[in-house]
């Protein structure tokens, strides 16, 4: 009977609930645990920067992408302008476009408002999990299942933020420092884990070296410029390198 | 309005929502809207990926070398040493993210206790 429903593409309410809770269950995985931990790191950082608990949790929910959150938070904490922070936030947000685009074939069926909600859940962790699990889900259930995965991840990231926020304010200073350290080490290792080509490695090294220099030269716009200049340099060098290797092979 | 107010007041909530709607969420909507005609693996997105990677790598060194909050109280060599240790543990454990992250944070704790 389920297959018949799937063929017509009109999931019943009960079936939708089933697909949603299947997604929720999928979201309770190792990546979600890492997400909880990294959200806790963000919560600690937010507390340290003088943010209120409500604003920190709200920021987690409304941006739902840690790099954008940390860029904004850290820039404001340094006394930077909202515009400069927003520019850097936008630059981290562009990478969500190809992610949403590549996921679209899996989420084509469904009402627009649910697809818009699904697109809000697109950030590295939920995206990876969706791409991993959705192909084996019946096409009519994919959007609902992804809403389940996303909702689970969303909830654990909000809870993680609140936990990290409270911990940072109540543990000894050395432990709080270790909590604050979670964000940079998590970001760096995530970049390394996601690196597939020479270009990715180049972008990490160039960005890491260029960042501090530009911070001292042009504070405020440093991250924006590190992205544009460092990323373009890595792109060009990476292209040259792969062309060189192709020549070598021939 | 000061940045402190932005970070902690109810008006800050509105500002955060505006930043999200103007500078961040549109890229998700655009991904939904563009659907046809643009491939997720087209060349422009290879560049986008490099830009985002360089920016976040720059953010990492900014957070570690020039921290604004409590991390400032931890010596620079400890921060850099813990970062290097995290990277080493990550690779030794076969690119294990959880091991690298918790290992790096643990090394920072050990440094602090060892020098007290």
Interface check for A40 against chain B (CB to CB < 8 A): the answer is no
Q: What is the ipTM of this complex?
A: 0.94
Does the structure show a pLDDT above 70 at A163?
A: yes
Within 8 A of A76 by CB-CB distance, chain B residues are: 3, 6-7
pLDDT band at B40; cut points 50, 70, 90: low
Q: Do B97 and A120 touch (CB under 8 A)?
A: no
CA angle A227, B100, A162 (to 5 degrees): 75
Do residue B24 and residue B55 come from a single domain?
A: no
Contact indicator for A163, A40 with CB cutoff of 8 Å: yes
Q: What is the mean pLDDT of residues B77-103?
A: 96
Instruction: Report the share of chain B in percent with pLDDT over 90.
Output: 69
A174 contacts in B (CB within 8 Å)?
109, 112-113
Q: Note the pLDDT tens digit of each residue in A82-120.
A: 999 999 999 999 989 988 888 888 888 788 899 999 999
CB contact (8 A) between residue B41 and residue A181: no
Nearest one of A45, A18, A54, A29 to A187, comparing CA atoms: A45
Closest CA to A47 of A187, A174, A175, A169: A169
Cβ–Cβ of A115/B69 closer than 8 Å?
no
Q: Are residues B30 and B47 in the same domain?
A: no
- Beta-strand ranges (E) seen in chain A are none
Q: Which of residues 83-112 of B touch A (CB under 8 A)?
A: 83, 86-87, 90, 95, 97-98, 100-101, 104-106, 108-109, 112
The length of chain B in residues reads: 116
- B28 and B51 housed in the same domain: no
In chain B, what are the helix, strand and coil shares in percent, each to the nearest 5? 80, 0, 20
Report yes or no: B46 at the A interface, CB cutoff 8 Å: yes
Which three-class secondary structure state does DSSP give residue A83? helix
pLDDT in tens, A7-65: 444 556 788 899 999 999 988 888 788 889 999 999 999 999 999 999 999 999 999 99
Q: A153: Cβ–Cβ under 8 A, 6 or more apart, which residues?
A: A27, A32, A35, A121, A125, A126, A129
Q: How far is CA B48 from CA A96, A199, A203, A231, B85, in A?
A: 10, 12, 11, 8, 30
Q: Do B102 and B53 reside in the same domain of the chain?
A: yes
Same-domain status, B46 and B24: no
Residues B60 and B85 in one domain: yes
In which domain, by residue range, is B31 found?
1-37
Dump strand ranges (E) for B40-113. Answer: none
- Same-domain pairing of B29 and B62: no
At B19, list the tokens.
Answer: 């930043």
Quick one: which of A239, A240, A237, A210 has its CA closest to A225? A210
B15 contacts A57 by C-beta, under 8 angstroms: no
CA proximity to A136, closest of A225, A213, A22, A12: A22
Distance from CA of A225 to the nearest CA of B (A): 8
Looking at the fold, whether B61 and B5 belong to one and the same domain comes out as: no
Distance from CA of B115 to the nearest CA of A (A): 11
Q: Are residues B46 and B20 in the same domain?
A: no
- Residue B74 shares a structural domain with residue B29: no
Residues B25 and B68 in one domain: no
Do B15 and B48 lie in one domain? The reply is: no
Residue B45 pLDDT grade (very low, low, confident, very high; cuts 50, 70, 90):
confident
What's the number of domains chain B is made of?
2
């Amino acid at each position: 009977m389920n297959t018949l429903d799937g063929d017509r593409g009109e999931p019943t309410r009960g079936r939708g609930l089933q697909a949603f809770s299947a997604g929720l269950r999928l979201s309770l995985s190792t990546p979600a645990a890492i997400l909880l931990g990294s959200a806790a790191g963000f919560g600690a950082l937010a507390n340290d920067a003088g943010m209120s608990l409500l604003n920190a949790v709200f920021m987690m929910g409304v941006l739902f992408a840690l790099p954008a959150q940390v860029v904004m938070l850290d820039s404001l904490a340094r006394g930077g302008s909202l515009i400069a922070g927003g520019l850097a936030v936008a630059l981290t947000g562009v990478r969500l476009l190809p992610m949403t685009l590549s996921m679209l074939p899996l989420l084509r069926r469904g009402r627009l408002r649910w697809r818009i909600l699904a697109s809000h859940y697109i950030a590295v962790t939920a995206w990876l999990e969706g791409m991993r699990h959705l192909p084996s889900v019946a096409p009519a259930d994919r959007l609902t299942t992804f809403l389940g995965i996303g909702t689970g991840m969303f909830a654990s990231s909000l809870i993680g933020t609140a936990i990290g926020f409270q911990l940072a304010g109540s543990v000894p200073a050395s432990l709080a420092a270790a909590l604050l350290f979670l964000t940079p080490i998590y970001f760096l290792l995530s970049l390394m884990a996601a690196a597939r080509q020479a270009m990715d490695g180049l972008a990490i090294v160039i960005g890491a070296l260029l960042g501090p220099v530009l911070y001292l030269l042009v504070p405020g716009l440093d991250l924006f410029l590190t992205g544009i200049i460092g990323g373009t340099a890595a792109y060009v060098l990476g292209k040259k390198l792969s062309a060189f290797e192709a020549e070598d092979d021939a | 309005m000061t940045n402190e107010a932005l970070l902690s007041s109810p008006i800050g909530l509105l500002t955060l929502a505006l930043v999200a709607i103007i500078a961040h969420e549109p890229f998700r909507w655009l991904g939904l809207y563009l659907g046809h005609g643009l491939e997720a693996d087209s060349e422009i997105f290879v560049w986008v990926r490099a830009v985002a990677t360089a920016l976040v790598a720059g953010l990492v060194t900014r957070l570690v070398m020039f921290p604004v909050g409590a991390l400032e109280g931890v010596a620079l060599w400890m921060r850099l040493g813990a970062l290097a240790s995290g990277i080493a543990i990550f690779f030794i454990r076969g690119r294990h993210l959880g091991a690298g992250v918790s290992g790096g944070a643990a090394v920072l704790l050990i440094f602090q206790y060892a020098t007290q």
